[in-house]
Every structure is written in C-alpha cells, then in structure tokens.
Structure 1
Amino acid sequence: MMGKINLDESITSIKGIGPKRLEVLKSHGIETYGDLLTTYPRRYLDRNFTKDIILKQGDVVTLLGSISDSYLVHGRKSRLIVGFRTQNNERVNLVFFRGVNFFNKLLTVDRKLVVSGKLEYFKGYQILHPEYELLTDGHEDENDLLHVGRIIPLYPSTEALKEEGFDSKGFRKAIDSILKQGAIPENLPTKVIKKRNLMNRDEAIRIIHFPETMESIQPARQRFAYEELYYFQLLLLYKQKEREKVKRVLWPLPKSKSAESLLKNLPFSLTEDQKNAVDSILKSTKKDAPLAALLQGDVGSGKTITALLIALHYIDNSIQTVFLAPTEILARQHFETIYKFLGNMPFLGIELLLGGENKKTRAEKLARIKNGESSLVVGTHSLFQDDVQFADLGLVVIDEQHKFGVDQRETIRSKGKNPDILAMTATPIPRTLCLTLYGDLELVNIRSKPAGRKPIDTRWYKEDRRAGVYNSIRKYVKEGRQCYIVYPLVEDSEKLDLESCTKAHEELSKDIFSDLKVGLLHGKMKSAEKDTVMAAFKQNKIQILVTTTVVEVGVDVPNATILVVEHADRFGISQLHQLRGRVGRSDLESYCILMTGNYISDDAMERLNALVNSNDGYALSEKDLEIRGPGELLGVKQSGLPEFKIADLVHDRNLLEDAKKDATEFANGDDTEKWEIQSRFQEGKFLFAN
C-alpha cells in the first residue's frame, strides 16, 4: 500500500531542483509539494494523434512532426520561416516575427516537436507564432508518454520559469515524480465528499494533471473548486470567531428618543425593508460581540436615513459615530442630508471633516471630536490621518465600502473602542460575491424604494438620434426640469477624456444650448469649485450639468430628471445603473438616455439592452458578473477578492452556496473530525489541512 505524501515537503527533494531553481519557483509561490500540485493546468491539448489528419485552412490544429529547414526573410519586417513536416510528410511553415534569433537557435533541423495554432494559407499552409512543445532534447526517449500520445496539460509559466526548465514539460516531470512517491492525503470531511458526490483527493489530483480522457477533467476540477471554496468559507468563519473573541465595549441604547423624534418628523414613511433593516441591525447590537454588517440597497432605496436611525441609538448614549465616504461630494451629500434631518437637534454635534481645510478650522474640529463634543462625524480619507482622535468611537458607517482597502477600514476601526461596523453599498453585489467578499458579515438588504418613485425610462440611441435627444432636453428644461450629461473618465486616457468633457461643455454651452445655463463638473476641479457648481445645480441656477462619473454616487437633486450618458458602451452595467440612479429621485417622470456610436461590441450591446429592459439593480449585477467577471465588476485594485487558483466565481456559484452550508455546519458542529486548522489559517495555508 502506498504511503501518504507529505504536502509540506520542500520541492528541493525533487531531483534537479537546486538553489537557483528553488529561488525562481519561490518567487512564483511554489515552495512545497502542495504548492506544486495545486499549480493547476491552464488548458489541455489532446495529443492522441491520428496519422490521417487532413489540413484545412482556418482549423486550429495540434500537429506532431519535426523541423526540416529554416531561413530568414528580410524586408520591412524580418521574419523566420521554419519548415515543419507532419507525420504525413505535409509541410507547414512556422512563422516568427518576434524572438527571431531565439527560435532560429532553438528550432534546429530534425528537432521533434508538437505545434498548435490556427492554419492559414499563404504560398502554402502556415501557423503564425505557434504554441509548441519540444519532445526530445537528445537525452530522452521520444516516446516518453508524459509528453506525447495522450492528453497533455499546459501550465502557466513565465520566461524566468522557462529559463530554469519549468515550461509545461518541466512541470509535468516534477509533478509526476511527486505522484510516484505515494498517495495524496484527503482534507475534506468524509460525509461532505459523500454528500456532494466529490471525487477523492488522490484520484482528482492525478486526473487533473494526467487525464486519460477530456471528460474526466471536469469532475476533478469540480473537486478542487469546491475544496478551495470550502476552505475559504472556513477561513471567513474563523475570522468571524476571532473577531467575536474581543467583546463589545460600548453598548447602544435599546431605545432612542432622538430616533423616535426623527421618525415622527419625517415627511415620508419608511418602507418595510427600511424598518426591517433597522430592527435587524439593532437586534444584532444586543450581542456581546461587535456588529459587522453590510447594508445593501439599490440606488435611491434610503440607506442613509436607515443608517442614521441606527446611529442615533449610539449617539443618545454618548457614543460617537463616523460616516466614512469615498469622495468629498458624497461626504457633503451625507452631511447635508443628515443635517437636514437633525437640524432641530443641534445638541447632537454634527461635524464634517474634509481634506484641504485651513489649519485653524481643522484644529477646532479635531478638538471637538477628541473631547466628545462632536457625536457624529462625516468625512473622507481625511479621517484616517493620525491627528484624528475620538473620545468614544463606537460605530463606523462606511459608504460604498468596496472603494476602501482592507488596511483603510482597519485604520478607522483602530481609532475606536472595538467599534461596530456598518458597511453600506449602493452597488447591488451578486450573492456569489457577497458570500466571498463579505461572508463574515451579516447581510441586510433594502430592496424596495420609497413610495411614489417611478421606474426610470431608459433608452439606447445612436448618433442619428442626437438632434432629437437635444430637442427633448430643451423641452424638459424649459418646463423647469434639469439634466445631467455624463462623459466617461477612464484611467488609461484620463487626460484625453477630461479634454473631451471640457470640450463638450464648451460646444454645448456655446453652440447647442447657448440660451440655457450649462455647468461643468469633474474630479480634477478644486473642492471649492466643485461645491460652487453643485450648489448652483441644486438651486436650478445651472440647468444642464456636463460632468464625469464624479456624480456616480451620492448626488441627490430631485429636480434633475434627464440623464444622458455619452459613450455608454464604455461603462459596465453596474456603473450605468449607478449613474441612472442620479435621476428618478422624486415622483416626476425620469429618463436615462444611453448614447453610443453606430458600431459597438456584442458585449456592449448585451450590457445596454440589459439596462433598457430592467431597473432591478440586483438582477443587473448578476448579469454584469456574467459578462465582465468579478475583478472588472468591482474594480481590480481594491476589490478584496481572493486569488483562487481554480475556483471561478461566475461558473462555480452553486458550489460556493454548497461550500458555505457545509463549512458552517462543520464549524458549528461537534464533529469527530476536529477543526484542527486554525494555525494553518493564520499561516495562510488553509488548503492543506490534513
């Protein structure tokens, strides 16, 4: 019987891996047997060749053969032509425009190899820059079954790895040498394997690296995707349990006179969803462990008033609250909204803290915050600075929280006495991403919108309808309404896009709407300028606001009922839905016009049609996830998404749901297979808990 392989064994135990190779492999995150075995193939080639393959232009082929000749062609662009003979003695030219000298030395006459690529025809069959695999190097048996005559895995590699012999062939040899040493230990509970009908770990690892059929790969892949998601969910549960060990210091009052007073004086009634959200979150604050919740609400669903009602239970007990916003515009919007609601309660002490304030003003605000005079502080990144100190910070409300990094969230928490965290987002996040990003948070949803709000009429027009769009804008503005015209601002070409926005403002104000007041707002303006423009727009002194995505969140002008998005094909669904939320904030009919050129991609068509057909942010977020994937949807830089090796959050949604249920049951149960993985969580090696 084969013994168990020690997955923590150093890869230096593998023949041929010395200090130099180890250094390169370590730089790619590969130090142990376990690291190497979970370097999964990126794709597979079926090299079960047939002798009678018929070459056909346009086909993607995998061919076995050898080099017959090679020569350089000089011209406007030099290229290397390598003559390749198939097993049927048919000639295919391999053409290289890049790395000419490298390939000229590597692909010598009689060298046997496998090439893959798309067949083209130019004075004979050719493949441009084919993928290739060398079969012999003069020392190996050309019939080595690891590399030919079977389904071959191709591994992610880099030039540095290839230089050290770790191309796909090198990975296959090293992995094969490990698998010959014994069996792979199981790391999932037996009952989970049976319940989910999963392949056992040893069989799955052998199949995923050396499959006998293409059909066998999927169940092996599913086993490892499930495993990865299961252990990730356990990690979230572990983080939750660790957080709960530090007990609550500050307790909000069960009843708040200020909240009751505010509710009586509101000019509207809360929706059932808002009431349920307040009740649910306040119920959680009765526990010993601090609150960690995510309040999700579609644009215009009333998250701010919901969070404020919760905050008043803290403030009435002299516990300070922070509202943290990602932009100054949104911070000011929150401050103004809160001040409007609480203006007749000056004793509460509301503070707005932004960057760029003069020293004297800032010092006065900081003193009030430090001595507890200010109960509710609204601010931006300026709140992270060292000079901001609180008397008794007990609740942190983070708006559009995915726009803040993990370190930033921890910085603000460290300024309080183990404060409760209420994260908010107006970007409906697909359930899959919620379970991944916020699996350790309590999820609270506000799906309904305040009474009287009408669905926004969304239309997609091309250039030939522009004159009609401008006529409609003029008609509605003459009736007293207001309009946004939004231009994209993309990092790669920020300067170019900014110019297009300012240029458009100039053209619209001088040539198209010369009789109307047209304003300009973009992120590069100074704070004072932005404030002046927004104040004028809110007062209807500006009728048409030409702007960038700086208005994506938080701006609340109920009289603005028309939104035109230029180059709408350059936005994702969720961002367009966010922008659309700038209108439809009253009982007036509102319109969102998506403008594009005549020719756009199929993906863009799918996105725009989705917007036209639905006002449901949650359904749209699922569609966005399908089209763009999680990294693009949330913004790669600070998405906080884990880097799964094999699991895919789009295609493995059902697996994630199953993994969460099973992990929760395991962590909470009194199972004989004890939860002996905590130290490994801390090491970040939770995939190999034996």
Structure 2
Amino acid sequence: MTNETPDWIRLQKALAVEAEHGFTDLMGRQYRFSEFLSLTLGKFPIGLPTTERRRWQELALQFAKYSHLGLEDRQHLVAETRRYLYQLQQDSGKPPENNGVAEAQQRNYQSKKQQPTTPIVAEVSRRLAPKIDQKLSDLPEIGIRKADNLARLGVYTVRDLLYYYPRDHIDYARQVNIRELQAGETVTIVATVKRCNCFNSPKNQKLSILELILKDNTGQIKVSRFSAGARFTSRAWQESLKRRYPVGSVIAACGLVKASKYGLTLDNPELEVLGNPGDTIDSLTIGRVVPIYALTEGIAANMVRQAVIAALPAAANLKDPLPSGLRDKYGLIELKDAIANIHFPPDSASLQVARRRLVFDEFFYLQLSLLQRQHQAKQIQTSAILAPKGQLLEKFYEIIPFKLTGAQQRVINDILNDLQKPAPMNRLVQGDVGSGKTVVAVVAILAAIQSGYQAALMAPTEVLAEQHYRKLVSWFNLLHLPVELLTGSTKTVKRRQIHAQLETGELPLLVGTHALIQDPVNFRQLGLAVIDEQHRFGVQQRARLQQKGEQPHVLTMTATPIPRTLALTIHGDMDVSQIDELPPGRQKIQTTMLTGQQRSHAYDLMRREIAQGRQIYVVLPLVEESEKLDLRSAVDEHQKLQESVFPEFQVGLLHGRMTSAEKDEAITKFRENKTQILVSTTVVEVGVDVPNATVMLIENAERFGLSQLHQLRGRVGRGAAQSYCLLMSSSRSPDAQQRLKVMEQSQDGFFISEMDMRFRGPGEVLGTRQSGVPDFTLASLVEDEEVLILARQAAEKVIEIDATLERWYLMKEELKYRYERLMGGAILT
C-alpha cells in the first residue's frame, strides 16, 4: 500500500479472516498475515493525523512480533486493531463499505456511531475533555436526570466518577470457537444464527424466552435470554426481537459458559449483531474486560458505564502526585493510565497493572498520614523523662520468682529507651496468651513511679481489671507501694477516697476500667498510661485517658496478635514490639475437634481430670443479636451439666448479665476450687487466671473466630499439668472444618491471627465495633501485603526527606483530599 487513502477493506478483511481461523497467523498467497499487517502499517497513509502516527507505528511493530505472541495476546491485538481502524475510518468521513450487509445491519452501525466514544478509542476522540471538578449534570452525555441518579451513589463530579472504581471485572475479551468452550469460563463467541425463536415460558406466562441456535465452523450452541414482565410477552415485541436476530445474521455473544441438559451454553448472554464475522464489536460488554460497578435500585450498569466513558477523557489531564522517580523505583504506571485501565482495560494484564498502582496509592496515602502524625508527635518535647534505673526496679527484679525471657527483656529495653526521651512514648506491645506482658507493663509503671510520677492501667472489663489488680497487689505489697482498683462497681465512699489520693499524689497507681476516664478522676502528675486489650476501646476513650496528664507516655498492650498488614494499617503511627517467646516449661495444649456424637469422649476426659483435682471450663458462644437466646442456653447448659451429667461435682455459672458481685463470687469459687466446672460465655476470654484449670470445652466452636478461640484456649495450660482444648462442632461446612483444623495444628497466635484474617477479613478479626480499620476501595490486606510493604517503605522515605511535604505540593494536596474531604480522617486511629 502506498501513501494514499488507506485500503480499509483489505485491512479489515485480513483481520476478520485471521480471527475466524483461530489466530493462527494464516499464510496468504504472498505473505503471512503478520507480515502483511506489518508491511501495510509500516507506511503512513495520506491524511493520517500527526497525533496518530506514533500509534500506527506501534501497531506495525506489534504485528512484526505477532508470530511469537500467545493466543490471548494475539486475540487482544487483532480486536484492538479492528476497533482502532474502524474508528479512524469513521473520523475520515468515509462511510463503511456495504459489502453485502443488509440495510437493517447498516442502520445498526450508523446508530452505534452516534453513541459516545468508547474508552478504548478515547485517544482519537475529538470531544473536549471535561474539567476534573466539573459537575456531572453539566456534561451533555449525562445531564441533570442521570446526574441525580448517580448522586445516589455518592458521585457528583467528574473526579468522583473517575475514582468510583469497579468492584469487579468480567473478562469477555477472550474470543474462542464454539468447540473450545469450557464450563466456568467467561468468553466471547462470534457465530451465525441458525435458528431463532421467541416465546412465553410454559411455566410462567410473564416470562419471555429468546432462544437462538448459533453456529460457527467448529460447532453449534443453543443460548437463551430471559425477559420478565408483561410488556415482553406480547407477540409484537417477540416478533421484533426475531427480526433483530434473523437467520443467517452474524452475532457476537458473551457470557459465562455453563453446562445444561442440551450441552454447554452461555448463561443469559449479551448479544450484538455484526455485519460479518470480522466486523468490529462495538458493545460496552461484548469482547472486552467489562467493569462491574456497585449499583443501587434504579441505576442500571450501562448508565454508570456510559457516564464513566463521558468522564474518562478528563483522566488524561490528571496531574500525577507521585514523582516519576518514585514511580520508577516501585514499578508503577502513571495515574492517568491507571484510571483509564481500571475502568475499561484492554486486557487482564493492563487491569492488573492499573490495579497495582491504585492499590499502592490507597496504602501510600494512609501510611503517609500515619507516619506524618507520628513524626509530629515526636516533635513534642514536654513529656516526663523517666529514669530507666532505680531501687524500685532493682527490688522488683529480686522479688519476681522467675527469670525474664529474652523477648521480655528486649521489649523492656525498647520501653525504657522511649521513657528516657522528652517526646511521648506511643508503643504497642503484642504478646501471645501467657507470654508475660503484665510483667513488662509493671517495669514501665515502676520506672514512672520511681521518677516521681503516677501511672494508670486501664482494662476493658471488670474481670480483667480485677485480675490485673490482684497480680499487682501481690507485687506492690512487697514493694510497699499502694495500688487501688476503680470500676463501675466501686462504692461511692471508696471512689471519693481514690479521687482524693490521686489529686494529692499519695496514690501512685490506679487500675480500672472506663471509670478511669470519668471527669472526677484527676491525677496530680500522670506520667504513664497503660491500656490493655487496647483494640476494645474506642479512639476517644484512649485519648481521654491520655488527657488526664500533660503528654503522658502511652503503652498499649494486646493479647490478640494482629497480622502484620493489619498492624501497619491501624497502628502505623505507633512503635510496635512483640513478645514472641513463651516462658519455659509451658506445655503445648492438646487441641481436638469433636462432633456431637463424640460428646461422651469429652465428658470422660473431664471426669478423669476432675478426679485428679483439676478443673474445667465450658464456654458457650454469645452473639449480640441474640444475646437473650444464648444467655438462656448458658443457663440451660449449666442446669443440664449440674443435674444430669455431673451431679457429683459443683458446676458454676458466669455470664455478662450477672452483677459484678455475682461475677466475683463465681470466679472466686472457681479459683478456690469450690466449683470444679465453670459454665461461661466469653466473659472468661481474658482475665480469668486459674492455673489449676486443664480442660477448655468450647460449644459451637464454629461460631467463634480463630483469634477468639485461641484466646479462650489460653485460659488453660497456665499450670504444669497437661491441658486440653475440645472444640465441639456439629457444622458440616468445609470452611468451618478447615478453620477448626487450624486450631488443631497450631499454637502460634500470630499464625492463627493471619489465618483468621484470611477467613473472616480484617474488620471481624478485631471485632465489629473496632473503629480505625480502613474501608479500602480496591486494596485487600489479605491479597496485597507486598504492595502495602512497598507503600510503607515509600512513605517512610518521603517523610524522612520532608515530613511537611512542602516540596511535593501535589502529593500534599492529594493527601488532604483523600483523608480530610473523602473520609474526614475517620480511618485514622
């Protein structure tokens, strides 16, 4: 072809024949298909716009490598080239050749030409790109009525729409022959209509069925489309549908391949009539990777897709906040390309690259915000400087009857180093059940007290606060230091006494629950706040305890190991230490999953253990939505065990509806072995420490998360005797069985928490009430750990160079937009 008007027919016909014969790089009379395309595209035709010359050359180079491409890449290249050439032909003003196409099909082409330009050919669109902050109602393709509908999705401007990412994609870009269909795949086929019928369902007269027999040169397939509603059952409508898909017409159909009694079929497929087997498929769904958006009632999928198409040219004008050096270092594409390809990617590979960039952005700006806040906190120089050595600490090390583990000593060193600095400590200590976190906290508390300051320890429940108080009293008595307990059950006279002693400074340590953050509680000089099981407190509750002093050091603890990705996400502004070593002599707890038929085995074990002087926990699930039901079952279980199963033993009862005095009595009786079996709800999850208990029987274990099961299991195995955890479950669900097997196989809380997050998601791992867990649009803490780590590293580098972000104005503005305007900072803990 010389430099003259392009021979559209020869090019399109070559592409069509190649597609029809399975992308085999056909041999022509003189050249192979790839050679013909490469040579033809190797010269610029007269009239080709300068802006298109680079694209033309790129296609020539791609077809030169065609013989080395895989089948899927060949399909995408041919399909993309066909669409590109078709659009160029339209823009040149020349009508497409009829070439025997029926008048009805010709009108179909012309009507499609009037539709908004599809994103794949947006680069050649002559339409002016809208402004990024333009209202959607101002776009002629959308208008006021559609804009009002889109507003129900929280989408108001062009920018909102560009960042309204699809929740999923379906890949219809893969075009196959009928004989290549396999159940479970999503594909596109191009075939001829052999038979067309439209009729009412014999079982439902309000359901209309379009039935097509489609055939290509490899086989045939029967497909059906269903339309529910009275208007679709009229003969006039059904006849018009049959005229739309006449016998002999060529159709592109896409959908999920499913097995039926007639063989393989496409499940309720999308259909488009073509002129010839090689014609361009101009649908928003057929033959491409289709975006699936979150919708609401009254908003159709195609309305959102068409709106995105109208807004998408604006993406080309987006200024990328990430510097090119940072993008190159982490292998990220430009923002404008990522936005375009997350909505309408040409293929799956482009989608993955786009998603990776946008996931990186979600993580990066979160980490940037967390690290920026951490940096700002460390600029404060008004906190107490606490002495890491002194008589109190030396005496404490002498009175404890055990040697600290290496992990405990390492974490203590981290804490004492922090306490010597004028910047407030903000450290999280993670430790598995029984790893010795309390001892570590006491060292920090004593460092504050010997430096002349007060300390507070806040726990989420009275049971846990009481447990801490008992342990601390036993140590503090030997150190001749007073310590008090303040909870909702504390008597008024005692409460006033505690308040007075705090204000005078006579009371160096106060242990308690939420009662610590009430207004009458005023410390004379609070130097350290310790928060246990911190994820059970809200952001404001933790902040109110800190406000009881002048920038006190803060030590938070959790016995619920948090997966690395989740810790980075919700505690990214904190320093984190892990006690990853258990004290010597702790035996592995033998964990077994049992069915209802094996209950007698559990009871036999319980009898044997009680005969040896041991004690038993029996735990029932508590679900908030049906608390009364589960409470009744706990009472019923207690009655059954006491009267029918173990009448010779004393069976106690503990649940959240009991008063504090009743709880204390139940726990005291169990601690003193006056009751051998304690039937309880999850109140015993943390805080109840009875070394003599050796069996934990958990009913309906499948209803608990893995982390919670691990916490419950940690109530036994606290003494020298062999302990057992029995997971009673009647569920036959494969998922439930798989989860419980994790408990059988592992005692590692960090591994269990990782698995728990994979099974249930991050929000459920920490509890549904937990604030501060981000709701990412694209990113997954389970699947995208590698990208999160890279984003954290990138954010650390940026903060290290310029924490104010003044040298990266666009980055600073993007951070402000994301976490002040969009989320109001709500995702930050």
Bucket of the pairwise TM-score, normalised by the shorter protein: 0.7 to 0.9
1:553-581 Cα deviation digits (max 9, x unpaired): 12111111111111112222111111110
| Aligned with residue 209 of structure 2, among 74, 83, 89 | 83
* 1:37 has 2:162 as partner: yes
Structure-1 residue corresponding to 2:349: 215
Match of residue 522, structure 2, among 359, 367, 389: 389
* 2:209–2:225 CA contact under 8 A, matched in 1: yes
Q: CA deviation at 1:33?
A: 3.0
Q: Specify the SS of the correspondent of 1:374.
A: coil
Change (3 A) 1:565 1:399: same
CA separation of 1:233 and 1:48: change in aligned 2, threshold 3 A: closer
The equivalent residue for 1:608 is 740
Aligned pair partner of 1:234 in 368, 389, 395: 368
- Report the alpha carbon displacement of residue 508 of structure 1 after superposing the two structures with TM: 0.6
Are residues 1:453 and 2:586 paired? yes
Structure 2 SS opposite 1:343 = helix
Query: Structure 2 matches for 1:328-343, cutoff 5 A?
Result: 328-343=462-477
2 CA distance for matches of 1:614 and 1:389? 45
Residue of structure 2 in register with 1:157 after alignment = 295
2:569 counterpart (425, 429, 436): 436
Aligned to 2:26: none
d(CA) in 2 for partners of 1:549, 1:100: 51
* SS of residue in 1 equivalent to 2:551: coil
Q: Is the 8 A contact 1:47 1:152 kept in 2?
A: yes
Distance 2:237 2:169 in 1: 26
Question: How far off is 1:337 after superposition?
Answer: 1.1
User: Hey, what does 2:750 align to over in structure 1?
Assistant: 618
Q: How does 1:101-500 map to 2 (within 5 A)?
A: 109=238, 110=240, 144-159=282-297, 162=299, 167-181=300-314, 182-346=316-480, 348-500=481-633
Q: Which residue of 2 aligns with 1:139?
A: none
CA deviation profile, 1:121-167 (whole Å, cap 9, x unmatched): 69999999x698999xxxxxx9754344432211111116x1xxxx3
Query: What amino acid is aligned across from residue 403 of structure 1 in structure 2?
Result: R
- Aligned residue among 707, 710, 721 for 1:588: 721
Please give the alpha-carbon distance, in whole angstroms, between the structure 2 residues aligned to 1:309 and 1:104. 79
Partner secondary structure for residue 84 of structure 1: strand
Post-superposition shift, 1:373?
2.9
1:660 alignment partner in structure 2: 792
- Output the aligned Cα RMSD: 3.6
What is residue 37 of structure 2 aligned with on the other side? Answer: none
- Unpaired runs of 5+ residues, structure 2, are 1-50, 52-122, 216-220, 245-251, 274-279, 823-829
Tell me if structure 2 keeps the 8 A contact 1:518–1:544. Answer: yes
Which digits, 9 at most, give the CA deviation of each residue in 1:253-287, with x for residues without a partner?
A: 23232222111111111111111111111101222
Per-residue deviation at 1:251? Answer: 2.6
The change in CA–CA distance for 1:245 and 1:171 in structure 2 (over 3 A counts) is farther
Of 40-49 and 266-275, the range deviating more from structure 2: 40-49
Preserved CA contact (<8 Å) 1:82 1:93: no
- Separation of aligned partners in 2, 1:494 and 1:73: 48
Matches of 2:182 and 2:408, distance apart in 1: 62
Shift of 1:6: 5.7
Higher relative helix content? 2
Secondary structure at the counterpart of residue 291 of structure 2: strand
Query: 1:80, 1:199 → 2: CA distance?
Result: 50
Judge conservation of contact 2:172–2:186 (CA < 8 Å) in 1.
no
CA contact (8 A) 2:213 2:222 kept: no
Aligned pair partner of 2:634 in 493, 501, 521: 501
Could you tell me how far 1:550 is from its partner in structure 2? Answer: 1.1
TM-score under structure 2 length normalisation: 0.73
Amino acid at match of 1:151: V
One-letter amino acid of the structure 2 residue matched with residue 486 of structure 1: V
Other structure's SS at 2:422 match: coil
Residues 18-70 of structure 1 show CA distances to partners (whole Å, capped at 9, x for unaligned) of: 66655664554434433321221122234458697589997676789999767
1:562 paired with 2:695, answer yes
Q: Any idea what SS the aligned residue of 2:554 has?
A: strand
TM-score normalised by structure 1 residue count: 0.87
* Count of residue pairs the alignment pairs up: 670
Say whether the 8 Å CA contact 2:385–2:421 is kept in structure 1.
Answer: no
Residues 93 and 125 of structure 1 are in contact (CA less than 8 Å); yes or no, is this contact kept in structure 2?
Answer: no
| Paired position in structure 1 for 2:18 | none
Q: Amino acid of the residue matched to residue 88 of structure 1?
A: L
Retained in 1: the 8 A contact 2:270–2:285? no
Q: By how many angstroms is 1:416 displaced?
A: 2.1
Distance 1:670 1:328, change over 3 A: closer
Higher-Rg structure is 2
Query: CA shift at 1:630, angstroms?
Result: 1.2
Residues 9 and 318 (structure 1 numbering): CA distance in 2 closer, same or farther, change over 3 Å?
farther
Whether contact under 8 Å (1:84, 1:91) holds in the other structure is no
Distance, in Å, in 2 between the alignment partners of 1:282 and 1:538 is 35
SS at match of 2:214: coil
After superposition, the C-alpha distances for 1:388-407 in whole angstroms (9 at most, x for unaligned) are 33322232211111111212
Q: Is the 8 A contact 1:228 1:687 kept in 2?
A: no
Q: Distance in 2 between matches of 1:364 and 1:131?
A: 76
Cα displacement (A) at 1:315: 1.8
Partners in 1 of 2:507 and 2:737 — Cα distance?
Answer: 50
SS of match in other structure, 1:331: helix
Residue 49 to residue 83, structure 1, CA distance change in 2 (3 Å) = farther
Given the superposition, is the C-alpha separation of residues 397 and 156 from structure 1 closer, same or farther in structure 2, using an over 3 Å criterion? same
Question: Where do 1:505-584 residues align within 5 Å?
Answer: 505-584=638-717
Distance in 2 (CA, whole Å) between partners of 1:315 and 1:133 is 77
Distance 1:52 1:143, change over 3 A: closer
State the Cα deviation string for residues 442-499 of structure 1 (Å, max 9, x = none). 0111011122211111122222322122111111111111111111112233222222
Amino acid at match of 1:82: S
Question: Which residue of structure 1 aligns with residue 113 of structure 2?
Answer: none
- 1:635 counterpart (747, 764, 767): 767
Q: Which amino acid aligns with 1:455?
A: K
Note if contact 2:130-2:313 (Cα within 8 Å) is conserved in structure 1: no
**2:478 match: secondary structure:** coil
Q: Distance in 1 between matches of 2:554 and 2:272?
A: 56
For 1:499 and 1:405, locate their aligned partners in 2 and report how far apart those are by CA, in whole Å.
30
Q: Whose RCO is larger (CA < 8 A, sep 6+)?
A: 1
SS at match of 1:318: coil
How big is each residue's C-alpha offset from its partner over 1:521-554, in whole Å with a ceiling of 9 and x where there is no partner?
1111111111100011111111111111111112
Aligned to 2:311, the other structure's residue is in SS state: helix
- Residues 176 and 187, structure 2, Cα contact 8 Å, conserved in 1: no
> Residues 222 and 262 of structure 2 are in contact (CA less than 8 Å); yes or no, is this contact kept in structure 1?
no
Structure 2 letter corresponding to 1:644: F
What is the letter of the counterpart of residue 748 of structure 2? D
* Partner AA of 2:349 in structure 1: E
| 1:375 alignment partner AA | P
Whether the aligned pair in 2 keeps the contact of 1:353 and 1:383 (CA below 8 Å) is: yes
